[in-house]
Structure 1
């Protein structure tokens, strides 16, 4: 290799024998610097939970930490004679979409169920429970009758005409529901799953609330199962924004499985087993897990039931079928299948599709982490077509995806807003991109927001801490532009799966520092 003049280091006139001694050391520091291999997972965890406060709709509480936000959507549901104040905006717009909101709460709850101790150790347990409860409180309001669930407030078409802070909204706040004549089994199923998972979370700290959630979860599951249909067939305004491409059968399996975890009632497990084939649970092999496609989540949870002895005789055959399909996904992420694997960018990031790819990455990192823990506690290996894989290797890959998100990537950029120095400054987000309501209480109109704020090249005046943006393209390239919504828009369901993984890594980070042991043991 040819030696070139080094910039920024005074090496001129240095004796050759000393130069040759220093060069390896200098190269080592250069590599460490460029890779940004040291990450602060506890800080990332704290910021990820802050993000959900930025997305709150409704009357904000006295302990609201994101102070650039203010009350909004205080008349939601008024025209329909129902109280729909609260809940979350899904992304950079001001619509409350029920399906992705419910999935967000399911994943937050699952993270707390798996990694609650680590979240407590990091001092973030209260914030995690508050993030979940902000969603479930809204679902209780939205479930006004056993067979009625309010699915959406506002609509994407009118919302996209305006660029306004939530506090200034002038767009339609019409609310839409599913019921017996206009079914929505996918929405009812996901909301049931969210409330069942949350009931597990609150079982010890708030048992009355836990029982209330479970009551709603059971009613919603019965509603979704009895009156079957896709919610976007009943609510046309959802099409093109959150179309349920996978249908509703995965959500019904998903809900039944979470109800089984919450109640231990055999009827729910029997539902998952008896419908395993007809509903696609043991026939579909998938390479993605998302707010729309739940099959892999069902397969992974069903797989882990095998460790419980009571399932080994009666249900083993079907659970093994679920496991086979779930492990196909794990192997696909690890590039260990013979044919169907998840693509990767040159920098090593899992790549599913161009629009908001990071949602698939964060979900994969969570599932890989959970499954690696399961294999580790049961002393098992993963048998992929291309060879056996140990739990530490699975977790190491999950960590590589997290580290990529936090800055270990070709652009040396953090895709978690507010983390590190080089993160997206022009996130596609109405509230963050316009001067805070606390600073400027003057009304900002529909087109005024586009004219005065959307088109600015300046960084957003408010930092959307903890938001995971859509992320880079298939070549690891990223353009930090407000108009580039495919890459710079963040969503609640992007960040939700990260909470549990950040917590686990944060605990390992603390142990690594205090005990001077490797962050991840070699496989």
Structure 2
């Protein structure tokens, strides 16, 4: 085992995580069917739902499982991942229903409650999204007694992402055999290995993947440092503060942002350097990743320069023209919200809160008034042609997440109410308030109407 690998683990090992509850939380027995809520605060049904959604990530775990493993059918798997190339890449999460590990888009994110809900990209997009949500709405995790599981889930992904970033100018972006990725349907104990490990480097860059990982590290550093967005309408960050771990995450974020911006090979989409990864999850561009990374880093470091770089990316890469769906490949709809949060909290950065608030409202008004770019299906589910076709609920739930986050900053009471009500309608649809009286799975295609 290489000394450099052991050293890379020290910060994570020193920054101990929260102890998990004993006995552990387990999802309710599905055989019991739907049950009426008894109400109260916190509502036990919502607390159980949040816990069940976090449990989903336990089901996706790779590597040597801890003694606290709650999933009886999940086994230790691929515990020697990466050793053939001199990097310990065991751990992390599998992507969706297969066994690949994708740094840019790894595991499918759970719907509706974990705040951001687009589908793939655990090691970058989903980690960023969960940390952003737990920074804004941390009280929900605390009241539901799920903060320890939030910490456990995040560290399982973040510790793997730290290992996937073994030095300043290298990031592992894909682990899988192209021939076996979608053809192996066996159990987790007999996954064919060793598997090819694909990286981006200074000479063979992937601007989007590096910047996306930088955004994840920075957003999660903000959470672990307790750096909320100073908006009294939101709750405080979840109670898992750990300054040592926050500093470790920030260092990795800064290094990866530097790689994204300054790679000697220039700025390129990651599939240019690693076509094997792009064959499954091709990126449409990197301007949005650069902007969101700069924004989270600006908040983490108090840097007006980074904030101004984010505004420059928004203009340079004409991101307003792609303001459509918030998901693993497109961060643009979330940028105006994040710009607004940062402007409200740090006016000294030089931004204009009213400008970004108006940009966000132009987008959200189109959604709630059914004037595009999406449109409403039967029972008022938001649908985007070309995006919702394969992931029917995710674009709608991502829009709901952004609407709910932005609503307290809206320019009028009417807009605040409209945004909140629309967000609630999308969640209600998924939970069974629809003409079929059924709770939809993540990929069921709803009827057009």
- When normalised by structure 1's length, the TM-score is 0.68
Contact 1:354 1:474 in 2 (8 A): no
Indicate whether 1:415 and 2:431 are aligned: no
- In structure 2, the residue corresponding to 1:243 is in which secondary structure? coil
Q: 1:65 aligns with which of 70, 73, 76?
A: 70
Shift of 1:42: 2.0
Q: 1:284 aligns with which of 321, 326, 331?
A: 321
Contact 1:284 1:295 in 2 (8 A): no
Q: 1:143 aligns with which of 165, 175, 178?
A: 165
Q: How far apart are the structure 2 equivalents of 1:218 and 1:398?
A: 34
Contact 1:97 1:151 in 2 (8 A): yes
Indicate whether 1:399 and 2:428 are aligned: no
Shift of 1:328: 2.9
Indicate the RMSD between aligned Cα atoms, in angstroms.
2.2
Q: How far apart are the structure 1 equivalents of 2:55 and 2:68?
A: 12
Q: How far apart are the structure 1 equivalents of 2:324 and 2:312?
A: 24
1:361 aligned partner: 396
Cα deviations by residue, 1:393-447 (Å, 9 ceiling, x for unpaired): 211211111111111122222135xxxxxxxxxxxxxxxxxxxxxxxxxxxxxxx
2:88 aligned partner: 83
2:111 aligned partner: none
After superposition, residues 31-46 of structure 1 pair within 5 angstroms as: 40-46=45-51
1:271 aligned partner: 309
Gaps of 5+ in 2: 1-33, 105-120, 227-240
After the TM superposition, which of the residue ranges 217-226 and 269-278 deviates more from structure 2? 269-278
Q: 2:360 aligns with which of 326, 348, 360?
A: 326
Cα deviations by residue, 1:229-286 (Å, 9 ceiling, x for unpaired): 11011111122321102x11110001000111212122211211233310224x3252
Cα deviations by residue, 1:202-249 (Å, 9 ceiling, x for unpaired): 12522111100000000000100112111011111122321102x111
Shift of 1:194: 0.6
Q: How far apart are the structure 1 equivalents of 2:356 and 2:314?
A: 8
1:473 aligned partner: 446
- In structure 2, the residue corresponding to 1:159 is in which secondary structure? coil
Contact 1:59 1:71 in 2 (8 A): yes
After superposition, residues 176-195 of structure 1 pair within 5 angstroms as: 176-195=198-217
Q: How far apart are the structure 1 equivalents of 2:318 and 2:193?
A: 40
Shift of 1:105: 0.4
- In structure 2, the residue corresponding to 1:135 is in which secondary structure? helix
Shift of 1:174: 1.1
Q: How far apart are the structure 1 equivalents of 2:84 and 2:367?
A: 47
Indicate whether 1:351 and 2:383 are aligned: yes
Cα deviations by residue, 1:308-347 (Å, 9 ceiling, x for unpaired): 36248x322xx5554443323312321254xx34112112
Q: 1:95 aligns with which of 100, 111, 114?
A: 100
Q: How far apart are the structure 1 equivalents of 2:445 and 2:415?
A: 29
Indicate whether 1:390 and 2:415 are aligned: yes
Contact 1:199 1:213 in 2 (8 A): yes
Contact 2:78 2:193 in 1 (8 A): no
Q: How far apart are the structure 2 equivalents of 1:301 and 1:137?
A: 25
After superposition, residues 127-138 of structure 1 pair within 5 angstroms as: 127-138=149-160
Indicate whether 1:381 and 2:412 are aligned: yes
Cα deviations by residue, 1:460-506 (Å, 9 ceiling, x for unpaired): xxxxxxxxx22323438xxxxxxxxxxxxxxxxxxxxxxxxxxxxxx
Q: 1:237 aligns with which of 276, 285, 291?
A: 276
| Pair 1:342–1:263, CA change in 2 (3 A) | same
- In structure 2, the residue corresponding to 1:94 is in which secondary structure? coil
Contact 1:57 1:88 in 2 (8 A): yes
Q: 1:257 aligns with which of 283, 295, 301?
A: 295
Q: How far apart are the structure 1 equivalents of 2:279 and 2:436?
A: 32
| Pair 1:200–1:308, CA change in 2 (3 A) | closer
Shift of 1:164: 1.5
- In structure 1, the residue corresponding to 2:379 is in which secondary structure? coil
The structure with more radius of gyration: 1
Q: How many residues align?
A: 373
Contact 2:100 2:176 in 1 (8 A): yes
Q: How far apart are the structure 1 equivalents of 2:179 and 2:212?
A: 24
Gaps of 5+ in 1: 1-33, 383-388, 417-468, 477-523
Shift of 1:366: 1.0
After superposition, residues 75-224 of structure 1 pair within 5 angstroms as: 75-99=80-104, 100-101=121-122, 102-170=124-192, 173-203=195-225, 205-224=241-260
Q: How far apart are the structure 1 equivalents of 2:171 and 2:346?
A: 38
Contact 1:59 1:74 in 2 (8 A): yes
| Pair 1:411–1:173, CA change in 2 (3 A) | farther
2:3 aligned partner: none
- In structure 1, the residue corresponding to 2:318 is in which secondary structure? coil
2:374 aligned partner: 342
| Pair 1:90–1:326, CA change in 2 (3 A) | farther
Report which structure shows greater RCO (CA 8 Å, sep ≥6). Answer: 1
